[in-house]
Amino acid sequence: GAVVSQHPSRVICKSGTSVKIECRSLDFQATTMFWYRQFPKQSLMLMATSNEGSKATYEQGVEKDKFLINHASLTLSTLTVTSAHPEDSSFYICSARDPAGREPTGELFFGEGSRLTVL
Amino acid sequence: RKEVEQDPGPFNVPEGATVAFNCTYSNSASQSFFWYRQDCRKEPKLLMSVYSSGNEDGRFTAQLNRASQYISLLIRDSKLSDSATYLCVVNYNTDKLIFGTGTRLQVFP
């Protein structure tokens, strides 16, 4: 079963509204979670690293005031797309690292993704 | 130049065929390497890590060439269920993964 759960899986909103996406680690505590965005036929692009109890670290070119990230607990991170525009339409995926995972650095598990469509 | 480059494909192969994908990376300081599989409109899932000595997991063999900065994935005896996009992933430190655009594989009967 999924070890990282993301909700909602699909959302359609009007331009100018805000949308919140939740990412939960189900079987482990994640001090760090990652938010990616994927446009059609393109690679996953890391948007930001979400750190529990502190500010997120944003990648170059990602507006922190537009993509608000909150990591209030060890199992939950949220991404809020504020004042959404059609160009924000994309597939947003969160991930978390399980320190006990099979990778040398801890396996990275992905949420199911959230497909955002802004009209 | 992209940090991680892959041939997007698609690779169309019959069942039972052997197919190989290559991936090149630009940063020689890269530390860890992985292949992820992504089905259409789904999240990526770890297929296997790639070690310098090469490693095998069933029908899948991964190899790393640090001198030439490329990674390969070999799939033997292809199954219909292998149809997916295979993402080459490079890690510079413990937190940041860099994804290639993926190589699409289509296995036909």
Q: Where are the beta strands (DSSP E) in chain A?
A: 4-7, 10-13, 19-25, 32-38, 45-51, 57-58, 67-73, 76-81, 90-98, 107-110, 114-118
Spans in chain B with pLDDT lower than 50? none
Give the pLDDT confidence score for residue A108 in this predicted structure.
77
Segment A72-97, tens digit of pLDDT:
888 999 999 999 999 999 999 999 87
Q: How many contacts does A have with B, using Cβ atoms within 8 A?
A: 51
Q: Which of A36, A43, A112 sits opposite B102 (nearest CB)?
A: A43
pLDDT tier at A102 (50, 70, 90 boundaries)? Answer: low
Q: Which one of B32, B37, B43, B99 would you mutate to disrupt binding with A, by most A Cβ within 10 Å of its Cβ?
A: B43
* B42 interaction partners in chain A (CB closer than 8 Å): 112-113
